[in-house]
């Protein structure tokens, strides 16, 4: 098992140098990579298929201030796009229903969603619409 852990640490180290990761993400990734390497080397791929049915992390913790984690693959993004969800064979609506998100929940990190909301409030499109109707 020591060899598997060492290999997993090298892989996660390379991933962490490519993108920012939290401590929990690093620990989780080391565990899953070490278990995956052990399963591949022993020929037990059936066990990893059962693990893949569970989400990569808790859906409530997936949406963070600066990133959102895809619960299907565990990758972090600023926004989970329709194109990315299509690689998992899901639509936005199916993804939200599968993981218990509200239909109105944006699949974007908190800071980006807040900035977009504030920008829309500043634009006051509803006032422009009523002015156009009265004229």
CB 26 within 8 A of CB 40: no
CATH number at residue 61: 1.10.10.1550
pLDDT tens readout for residues 121-132: 999 888 877 777
> How many folded domains does the chain comprise?
2
pLDDT tens readout for residues 6-21: 888 888 888 888 888 8
For residues 95 and 40, what is the distance between their CA atoms, to the nearest angstrom?
A: 29
Cα angle at 46 between 41 and 49, to 5 degrees? Answer: 110
pLDDT tens readout for residues 56-88: 678 888 999 999 999 988 889 999 999 999 998
For residues 60 and 64, what is the distance between their CA atoms, to the nearest angstrom?
A: 9
Model pTM above 0.85:
no
> 93: which residues sit within 8 A by CB, 6+ positions away?
103
Provide the strand spans (E) within the chain: 68-69, 76-77
Range of the domain at 135: 55-135
Instruction: Give the residue-averaged pLDDT of 80-108.
Output: 93
Residues 49, 59 share a domain: no
């Amino acid at each position: 098992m020591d060899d598997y852990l060492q290999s997993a640490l090298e892989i996660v180290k390379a991933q962490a140098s490519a993108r920012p990761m939290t401590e929990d993400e690093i620990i989780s990734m080391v565990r899953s990579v070490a278990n995956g390497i052990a399963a591949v080397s022993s020929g037990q791929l059936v066990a990893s298929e059962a693990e893949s049915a569970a989400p990569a992390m808790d859906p409530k913790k997936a949406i963070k201030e600066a990133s959102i984690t895809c619960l299907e693959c565990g990758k972090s993004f600023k926004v989970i796009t329709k194109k990315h969800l299509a690689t998992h064979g899901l639509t936005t609506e199916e993804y939200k229903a599968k993981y218990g998100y509200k239909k109105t929940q944006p699949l974007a990190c908190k800071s980006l969603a807040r900035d977009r909301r504030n920008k829309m409030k500043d634009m006051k499109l509803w006032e422009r619409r009523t002015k156009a109707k009265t004229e």
